Amino acid sequence: MMWEQIRSNQMRSVILVIGMGALLVLLGYFLGLYFFDSAIGGLVIALAVWVIMSLFAYFQGDSLLLSMSRARKISRDDHPRLYNVVEEMKIASGLEKMPDIYIIDDPALNAFATGRDPSRASVAITSGLLQKLNRDELQGVIGHEISHIKNRDVLLMAMCSVLLGTIVILAWYGSRFLIFGSMTGSRRSSSSGGGGQAQIIILVVALVFMILAPIMAYLIYFAISRKREYLADASAALYTRYPEGLASALEKLGASTGQLKSANQATAPMYIVNPFRKKGLKASDLSSTHPPISERIRILRAMAGNSFSDYNQAYRQIHQGGKGIMPATAEIAVGVVPLAATKPEAKVEEPDEMQRARENSDLMWRLNNYKTITCDCGTRLRVPPGFKEPKITCPHCGREHSV
Amino acid sequence: MIAVYIIIGIVVIILIIFVMTYNGLVRRRNQVKNAWAQIDVQLKRRYDLIPNLMETVKGYMKHERETLEAVTKARNLAQQVASAGAGARAKAEGELSSALSRLLAVVENYPDLKANQNFLALQEELTSTENKISFSRQYYNDSVLRYNNQTQMFPSNMIASMTGFKASEFFEVTVATEREAPKVSFT
């Protein structure tokens, strides 16, 4: 059921990736033909750039991404609720290894997953989001991220962004050389005058490719990314058996306007919502890594059950009879076993937003090696790591505390 | 001569399909076993949490002897039948779940307890463990569904019956309060 879904979805993504690869090869081919008179030279350069960037992304991508977003790794004791929610989703998805958990100290609302394979994965969440979401919503968001790991989207998107990056770089340098070369008029010595006609054709084709290839690559990239987002939403609904959790989390995410400082265009598809989104994005927008949040919410809320086929149906309903996002295999009709995670009858009390905010700030101080002492008068003393004295006096009531 | 090659080719392809399907079945079956073990892990975790919880709430809940005793009794019973049949076990675990939720419901009446850091941490652990039990059952059922589909659908069912793969049983909740109306969609 589920696995077949992922596999056939992967097939489509793979076809799109091959399309991007073909673009890269063609670009290299024409650049080579134009600049070196031989297609091989261009191909070799294109492939070399691609291989180097791929290797780097494969082996260093996740640690680079985490350090670029200034994420801090936390342990179970630092934030038991977050740790537990991640573990719950790990169990629900059948992931073998517990992913590492990171917190980004940023008031913007976002989360992402990284790691080239499910046994080396991490999820990161901003402190702002952690503060805003209640437990059910957090579960939805983490479910979405875990399914990015489970569906191996992280590797796919990393490889795609490398391809995209290579195409953009080659096209950029190609066009600069072209402009610079034609200005000085000493591009290279033409072998014979007879080749003039062919020369112009190659020039035109190379130019067209340099302009079109990056645009095409972007569109393919966005198409893949959006598809994976839908799939991750559907998987999150399936894992939590509670689409409303993710829907209401997305609502909160959509209402905030803060942009994540540490995100950039290449890392954007890893996040749960586009970190650079603008308000009022249209449903048919081709130039975004993520589907519009309002549409994702409407699909999740229109789901009659929790299975992929329910998601598919809801998608079709929203899109007025268009074809679904999931491939129409016979197996999705099977649905899911109706054993939901039973919600306790007596709703257990949860920390409200104020308490979550306090929890967060305690955590951030602790991660910076500050010690927190709560005085009997209610004052919280933050003791910096370099504090040498054995005792500290509360500035509010004058009680002494040992450090 | 060509006919021989074609026959050899067909045989090789059939063999490859056979091996791949067989391995797929083994993988699915292991997944089911693994998922079952995961439920056990979470149930054990719950047994371990309860003595701690009792220790913490005892001092505050002087008037809830019965509720507390019900939890302890249900826990001990569940632990005793842990090696018994699935039916008896599911019943005992279900009773433990409802005893625990009754306890957490009366906590409302004890504001001091609700402010206790130790209790709050335990409550989080308990809530999460309940969730983990549910999620591990859910994953078990998802795995069984995938495995059973493969043992029953053509053509893998032929290989499954030849090599002795039998359909697994779903985990069914026997306590009436935990059961939900089945939702089956035929699209």
- Note the pLDDT of residue A165: 83
Which of A75, A74, A79 lies closest to A360, judged by CA?
A79
Mean pLDDT calculated for residue range B17-38 = 91
Query: Where are chain A's structural domains?
Result: 1-338, 369-402
Q: Is B183 on the interface with A (CB under 8 A)?
A: yes
Q: How many CB pairs under 8 A join A and B?
A: 114
Which of A211, A238, A203 lies closest to A334, judged by CA?
A238
Q: Compute the CA torsion angle A59, A65, A66, A69 (nearest 10 deg).
A: 170
∠ CA A83-A86-A87, rounded to 5°: 85
Residue B45 vs residues A11, A86, A147, B75: alpha-carbon distances, Å: 40, 17, 25, 12
Beta strands in A50-104 (DSSP E): 71-74, 100-104
What residues form DSSP beta bridges with A401? A392
- Note the pLDDT of residue A324: 61
- Note the pLDDT of residue A88: 93
Q: Please enumerate in sequence order all residues whose Cβ is within 8 A of that of B50, keeping only pairs 6 or more positions apart, or say none.
A: B71, B72, B75, B100
Catalytic residue status for A145: yes
Reported confidence tier of residue B124, pLDDT bands at 50, 70, 90: confident
Phi, psi of A151 (to 5 degrees): -85, 5
| CA–CA dist A285, A266 (Å, integer) | 19
| CA–CA dist B18, B25 (Å, integer) | 11
- Please say whether the dihedral angle defined by the alpha carbons of residues A52, A57, A58 and A64, taken in this order, is positive or negative: positive
Interface of B with A in 26-85 (CB under 8 A): 31, 35, 38, 42
- What amino acid is encoded at A212 in this protein? L
All residue ranges of chain A with pLDDT < 70 are 1-10, 181-195, 257-270, 276-288, 321-349
- Note the pLDDT of residue A322: 57
Residues present in chain B in total: 187
Mean pLDDT calculated for residue range B11-20 = 92
Cross-chain CB nearest to B101 (options A3, A307, A344): A344
Residues of chain B found within 8 Å of residue A333, distances taken between Cβ atoms: 185-187
Per-residue pLDDT reduced to its tens digit, A61-111:
788 778 877 888 999 888 999 999 999 999 999 898 999 999 998 888 889
Rounded to two decimals, the ipTM of the complex is: 0.82
B150 pLDDT higher than 90:
no
Reported confidence tier of residue B173, pLDDT bands at 50, 70, 90: low
Of the listed A88, A145, A229, A295, which one is catalytic? A145
Query: CB distance B135–A310 less than 8 Å?
Result: no
Residue with tokens 């507390």: B68
- Note the pLDDT of residue A339: 46
Query: CB distance B183–A338 less than 8 Å?
Result: yes
B95 pLDDT higher than 70:
yes
- What amino acid is encoded at A302 in this protein? A
Residue A200 vs residues A41, A197, A205: alpha-carbon distances, Å: 20, 5, 9
Helix A80-93 to helix B117-152 angle (10° resolution) is 10
Per-residue pLDDT reduced to its tens digit, A30-48:
888 877 777 788 888 888 8
Six-digit token string for A253:
């995410």
- Note the pLDDT of residue A285: 53
- Note the pLDDT of residue A70: 83
Which of A288, A222, A162 lies closest to A13, judged by CA?
A222
Cβ-count burial of B72 within 10 angstroms (0-12 exposed, 13-18 middle, 19+ buried)? middle
Q: Please enumerate in sequence order all residues whose Cβ is within 8 A of that of A366, keeping only pairs 6 or more positions apart, or say none.
A: A78, A372
- Note the pLDDT of residue B183: 45
Nearest chain B Cα distance for residue A361, angstroms: 17
Residues of chain A found within 8 Å of residue B127, distances taken between Cβ atoms: 344, 348
Mean pLDDT of chain B: 83
Taking domain B2-166, whether its CATH number is 1.10.1840.10 is answered by no
pTM for the full model?
A: 0.80
Query: CB distance B170–A337 less than 8 Å?
Result: yes
